[in-house]
Structure 1
Amino acid sequence: MSPVRIISISKVQLPTNAGTDYPSTGSTIPLSFFDVQWIPILPMKTLLLYPSAMILSSSFDSFKSSLALTLPHFHLLAGDLTYRPSTDDVAIVCSDESGVTLIEAESDLDIFRLAGDSTHDVESFFHLVPNKFHEEMPMPVLSVQFTKFSGCGVAVGISVHHAAMDASGFSHFIDFWAKTCCHGIPPIASISERKRLTRRVFTVDLATIQLLKQRVAQGAAIDISSPPTTFQVLAAHTWISIARVRGITAENNKPTSMVFHMDGRTLLPPPMSASYTGNCLFPGVVHSTGSAIMSDTGFGQTCGNIAETVRKNRAELMGSTVREFQPLNFASLRGLKVVFAGSTRLQWLDTDFGWGKPEFEGLVSMTYDGDVVMAAGKEKGSVQITVGLKEDMDPFTRAFQEGLETLTKH
């Protein structure tokens, strides 16, 4: 018997004559240059857990009605990703039948355990997010699952196709929807492959982050033109920790690369509107070897290499045209690959639908061995790092924690 039971499945559609700047119902929204590279990628699946929430009989109705109020401001989320034979392309089509698939469910799972365990219960998580509505086109851009738990607690599982928007745009949508609900303000990986990843969440507090930054600044031999950022120090440490447990040493000098994406909204000439919620991500790749990242100065050097790649990407974005940038050829990267997603600025744990803030937030749809997702933590200035590995999670945990202790010693 499934640990989650479906009560109802419905669609939340756009109102007639929504009166926004988006195309009207019945229109086709073409995908941009930024969007098309994400077509083959399975949707992003995010899970929010509210274990202490007291859910009333009216809670689901409020949740659903607030989504209906939010959709006119994010029109394309109500459409279907559709292949068009006449033009041999893919677009978002907002037909009269389109809408957001909304699942209402109930469960006897222990939500306090799910929210509290540092190691993700991936099998249970996948029962709490929509999974059956993105198998072939046309497919809904957005699907949502609202799961009530015995006694108290609720889970919100959200599946959105990356071709429609990136994490920044998605965060803007979630924030708008949550405020509306709370205050009434208007390479392809299969699911089975994703489940094989062990995921574990690590939280690094502000004091530790500051000590890591000081450690980089104290490395006189390292050319850091500006103070290291939170992303740079945490990405460097995480990358080195994964490389260490995967057998990369100074002696064998094996190659390794880290991949991240930069938000180009404010960098393109001219900058994009703050209301733009589509994709605007540009890949950055940092190459290294065992002799570099595992040396005595490896942490500082790695931070410097990341900073230099960011600086070069920023300069190219500000001085070039969009179409000069090519999608990343992931298969061409040699050796161990570590992929970073999310942002240390994304405040997912502030998402309040009227039930308080969630005790847990996680990207269920982490895809590759070596995926890392960052987001702001619960405490001010802290960062939540979720790591997905097919194996070696316990050795990685030791390497990550022991590395932090060593780097932050005075």
Structure 2
Amino acid sequence: MANFSSLKLIDVCKIPPPPTAAAPSSLPLTFFDLLWLRFLPTQRLFFYEFPSNEISFHDVIVPKLKSSLSLALRHYLPLAGNLVWPSQSDTPIIEFVEGDGISMTVAESDSDFYHLSGNGLREVSEFHPLVPQLSVSHDRAAVIAIQVTKFQNKGFSIGITHHHGILDGRSSTSFIKSWAQICIEESFVPISKQMPLYDRSVINDPKDLAKLYAKAWQEVEGPNNKSLNLKFPQTKHGLIRSTLEFTHQNIQNLKEWILNKKIENEIFDSSSSHISSFAIATAYLCVCTAKLEGLKEGELWFVFAADARIRLKPQVPLNYFGNCLVAGFVRLERFGLLSENGIILACDQILKGIRNLDDQALNGCENWGSIMSQLTFDYSKAQGVSLAGSPRFGVYNADFGFGKPKKVEILSAESPYFFSLTDSRNSDVVMEIGVVKERDEMDAFVAIFNQGFESI
């Protein structure tokens, strides 16, 4: 299956914002940002088919992407800057100075476009050349980097790598969609509700969590270590990537099965009918994971991130730029997951975990900084099922004027314990699930995933 393709670099340039950029030239990090300070960056890859053979990649597509990116930075100036940690400051800041810009790489690949943009089994290493590396050192870190890669007369990809300590999925997706809109219509200006909000005062920090989290990072390899170098998990060779789908019919069948079982067992209550697609899908993935691992003792942990903007009091506007995530932790008994009612048990626990976040979004927040800094220095401690992305971001709406993406992949989720979630180009599909496993485990997992639907 390995496709040992070559990549030819055509151009590496810096895209500066226009001189009229109005966003702030420096921006402090909040405690929500500091949680992710040295965490691995987020990498997304968008595949686009050429709309026709007449459109020239080098003469039309690349210049349009470059000019629209510059114009988008008028509203997203911090993306063109760098993360720095001034000696006199307790916490790092994003700083933009004249001459800064976003690094954009243009390349050509002889890989098979349709193989990589499909749902089938693909080696994770095949995607690595298509996403750029962030420029990061001890005292400076770029915010974002972009790579545009042409595949022989079939299509092209846009690879985006961004620093997780500066923006979360909602903020990064808003930027990508604004850039896409400007690529279609240069005069496009986001409406005020979509314009990024940089006002840090909307994040209340009465417990001075920002200083607490910054101190936790300084002590990991400290004392007083202000390094901005990112930490990456150890890479496993030979991992395979695949995309599975939850269709509307899958979700509906699972929901009906759960409700019927609850009525049968007389455990139906008023909340039973309000089961979200997210809870059903993730409960099903946890059951599939438990079945794959077989009869193991103890518990399976499920960890998910939730947008805190709507959960904080007062609420934070949805267009707030930065990180604003809280984590839900769900403990699942493996024995229960393997029982006939495993998906019901998982669903109930996940719904309870979501309700807990709705009621107490910042519960235990004093400890998050030390937990996250220790976890980042040894990712192997994270043995629970985790998620990246969300179908709510609508990444398949990122149309740069060349049509909607043929495929979107979240590449930073490169672990057997990570699932990535996105919406879908296909209207019959509620969400796509990106899965990474070793080859033999992938075959078994896909079989378990498909058999579960057949059995209900």
Q: Secondary structure of 2:421's partner? A: strand
Q: Which amino acid aligns with 2:282?
A: A
1:383 lines up with 2:405 in the alignment: no
Say which of 298, 317, 324 aligns to 1:254. Answer: 298
The one-letter amino acid paired with 1:395 is: A
- The C-alpha deviation readout for 1:371-390, integer Å capped at 9, x for no partner, is 01111112235210111224
Please tell me the residue identity of whatever aligns with 1:385.
I
Q: Does 1:281 align with 2:316?
A: no
Asked whether the 8 Å contact 1:372–1:385 carries over to 2, the reply is yes
Q: Counterpart of 1:126?
A: 128
- Aligned CA-pair RMSD: 2.6
Match of 1:178, SS state, is helix
Instruction: Give, as a single letter, the amino acid of the residue that structure 1 aligns with 2:24.
Output: P
- 1:95: Cα distance to partner? 1.6
Give CA deviations for 1:47-74 in whole Å, capped at 9, x if unaligned: 0111344442121111011111111222
Offset, 1:339:
0.4
Cα 1:229–1:132 shift into 2, 3 Å: closer
Give TM-score, length-normalised by structure 1: 0.89
How far 1:254 moved relative to its partner? Answer: 2.5
SS, match of residue 17 in structure 2: coil
**1:341 aligned partner:** 388
Residue range with higher mean Cα deviation, 297-306 or 287-296: 287-296
Structure 2, unaligned runs of 5 or more: 190-219, 221-229
Alignment CA distance shift 1:155-1:182 (3 Å): same
Are 2:300 and 1:299 aligned?
no
Cα separation, 2, equivalents of 1:164 and 1:77: 9
Partner of 1:38: 36
Matched-pair contact (CA < 8 Å) for 2:259–2:268:
no
Alignment partner of 2:343: what SS? helix
> Does the alignment pair 1:76 with 2:52?
no
Equivalent-residue separation in structure 2 for 1:341 and 1:353 (angstroms): 24
Q: Aligned pair in 2 of structure 1 residues 325, 72: CA closer, same or farther (>3 Å)?
A: farther
SS of the residue 2:76 aligns to? helix
State yes or no: 1:207 paired with 2:249: yes
Q: 2:13 aligns with which of 10, 15, 22?
A: 10
Specify the alignment match of 1:138 in structure 2: 140
Query: Retained in 2: the 8 A contact 1:223–1:304?
Result: no
What per-residue deviation string (whole Å, max 9, x for no partner) do you get for residues 339-393 of structure 1?
A: 0121121211221111111111101111433101111112235210111224611
2:261 is paired with a residue whose SS is coil
- Show the counterpart of 1:182: 184
Change (3 A) 1:113 1:244: same
| Equivalence for 2:227 | none
What TM-score do the two structures reach when normalised by structure 2? Answer: 0.81
Contact 1:33 1:323 in 2 (8 A): no
Cα separation, 2, equivalents of 1:213 and 1:323: 34
Other-structure match for 2:420? 373
Q: Of 245, 259, 279, which aligns to 1:217?
A: 259
Three-state SS of the structure 2 residue aligned to 1:84 is coil
In 1, Cα distance between equivalents of 2:354 and 2:380: 18
- 305-314 or 45-54, larger mean C-alpha shift: 45-54
Measured in 2, the distance between the counterparts of 1:92 and 1:136 equals 15
Which residue of the other structure, out of 385, 391, 394, is the alignment partner of 2:443? Answer: 394
Question: Are residue 100 (structure 1) and residue 102 (structure 2) matched?
Answer: yes
Q: Within 2, Cα distance between the matches of 1:192 and 1:128?
A: 20
Aligned residue for 1:382, secondary structure, equals strand
Q: Partners of 1:164 and 1:196 in 2: how far apart?
A: 31
Q: Which residue of 2 aligns with 1:23?
A: 24
Instruction: Determine the C-alpha separation between the residues in 2 that align with 1:335 and 1:146.
Output: 33
Structure 1, residues 86-121: CA drift from partner, whole Å, max 9, x if none? 336422111223211111111222212211242233
Partner-residue secondary structure (3-state), 2:111: coil
Q: Any idea what the Cα deviations from partners look like across 1:174-204, whole Å, max 9, x if unmatched?
A: 1111111123324976377166542211012
